[in-house]
Amino acid sequence: MSMDLKGKKIVLGLTGGVACYKAAELCRALVKHGASVQVVMSEAATHFIGTVTMQALSGQPVFTDQWDPRMSNNMAHIDLTRHADAILVAPCSADFMRKLAHGACDDLLSTLCVARPRRVPLLAAPAMNVEMWENPATQRNVAQLLEDGICLFGPAAGSQACGETGLGRMLEADELVEELVASFQHKVLAGRRVLITAGPTFEPIDPVRGITNLSSGKMGYAVARAAREAGAEVTLVTGPTALPTPHGVRRIDVLTAQQMHDAVMAGVEGQHVFIGVAAVADWRVANASGQKIKKQEDGAAPQLEFVQNADILASVAATTSLSGWPYCVGFAAESENLVEFGAAKREKKGIPLLVGNIGPQTFGQDENTIILFDETGHTLLERADKLTLARQLVSEIAKRLERRSLLT
């Protein structure tokens, strides 16, 4: 479990909705990620979940009433946000969105939102019936909240507690934690489109067997998450992995190197950055069998022939000579002489930035050490978990993009 919210003070507001049951999980997850959580509930929320549960999970007394005498100055609407890093209203009902849009101050939570210091971001996770969400009045309020700089997480589409189906479901607790963590990251890639490959490829030998490698996809997925946290629109073309899609990332699943190549080339136009993290198979089986290959009586092994796969990174890099885009970043997994091989590989691939790592020390691991190679030399990024490294890489890429735009 990462401690991405370590030291953060979050005011968690609950308003009336069945999704209050998810707020209990959310509160627990926030605490597990290192946040200190102050729960404030509207009167309606208390019909869906008890204050006792929320107090037990947050470890702090819950506030519901603006006249709560426990505050020595009786100003809970002021004091509860003065040290906060963010206010997250989850679930945020249609009615509470109306209140926020109009600056209503008719209970503790609404008053506290209006009275928050300007530096404290207000984040809301809408949760309501699909008709309520799509109602023009609600959509007018959505537009107003966005204009006022209030950030909305979701809603998601799916089946609803009322039995209907559509937009209006509150995001799941882990998705909200991801969104909250992202909200604290610098938006250094805002407005940029980033295409990333990740994971291994799988090259069939016959319908039930194939050749693959030990790449878990963890680094590529971390890079996708970090790029999205930095404000980019991210597409992830991924070989087979067991990893969940980072929230807000568009994912395209492929199996073979050829499929990965085709998906990348079909989506590369208009991308600002391409990051090839995938461990793409260098060869595929030229004479793959349409049926399962049977063992031979005489013990003879099948005679496999190989043909080299297209180099996806090189193909993308070749397209940049026309427009200058996308900015290409490659990864190199070596087993020795990383500094020497990394620099040579960057030159050979014709790309501005290459990330080198030692294959056996990264495949499947949660931590890694990487070296960045560019035209000025190389820089070591100290051993850290992959998300930390991915964020550092994203910020290095953003710096280089910035420099480029200053030059052009």
Query: From CA 330, how far away is CA 344, in angstroms rounded?
Result: 12
Q: Give catalytic status of residue 20 as yes or no.
A: no
Residues 6+ apart with CB under 8 A from 2: 33, 385, 387
3-state secondary structure of 107: coil
Neighbours of 184 (CB within 10 A): 13
Q: Is 276 in the site for ligand C5P (CB under 6 A)?
A: yes
Query: From CA 115, how far away is CA 82, in angstroms rounded?
Result: 10
Q: Is 343 in the site for ligand C5P (CB under 6 A)?
A: no
In the set 27, 92, 162, 328, the catalytic residue is 162
Pick from 20, 94, 188, 257: which binds ligand C5P (CB under 6 A)? 257
Owner of token pair 């796969």:
309
Query: From CA 47, how far away is CA 170, in angstroms rounded?
Result: 18
CA-CA-CA-CA dihedral for 339, 342, 344, 349, to nearest 10:
-170
Q: Is 89 in the site for ligand C5P (CB under 6 A)?
A: no
* Nearest-approach distance from CB 223 to ligand C5P, in angstroms: 11
Pick from 199, 330, 352, 356: which binds ligand C5P (CB under 6 A)? 330
* Nearest-approach distance from CB 247 to ligand C5P, in angstroms: 24
Q: What are phi and psi of 156, to 5 degrees?
A: -95, 165
Residue nearer to ligand C5P on the CB measure, 181 or 264: 264
User: What residues numbered 293-312 form the site for ligand C5P, per CB under 6 A?
Assistant: 309, 311-312
Q: Is 64 in the site for ligand C5P (CB under 6 A)?
A: no
Q: Is 90 in the site for ligand C5P (CB under 6 A)?
A: no
Q: Is 63 in the site for ligand C5P (CB under 6 A)?
A: no
Neighbours of 406 (CB within 10 A): 7
* Nearest-approach distance from CB 281 to ligand C5P, in angstroms: 7
Under DSSP, the state recorded for 163 is: S
Residue nearer to ligand C5P on the CB measure, 331 or 373: 331
Query: From CA 52, how far away is CA 32, in angstroms rounded?
Result: 19
Q: Is 263 in the site for ligand C5P (CB under 6 A)?
A: no
What are the residues binding ligand C5P (CB under 6 A)?
Answer: 197, 257, 276, 278, 280, 309, 311-313, 330-332
Binding residues for CTP, by number, are: 282, 292, 331, 345, 349
Q: Return the active site residues.
A: 162
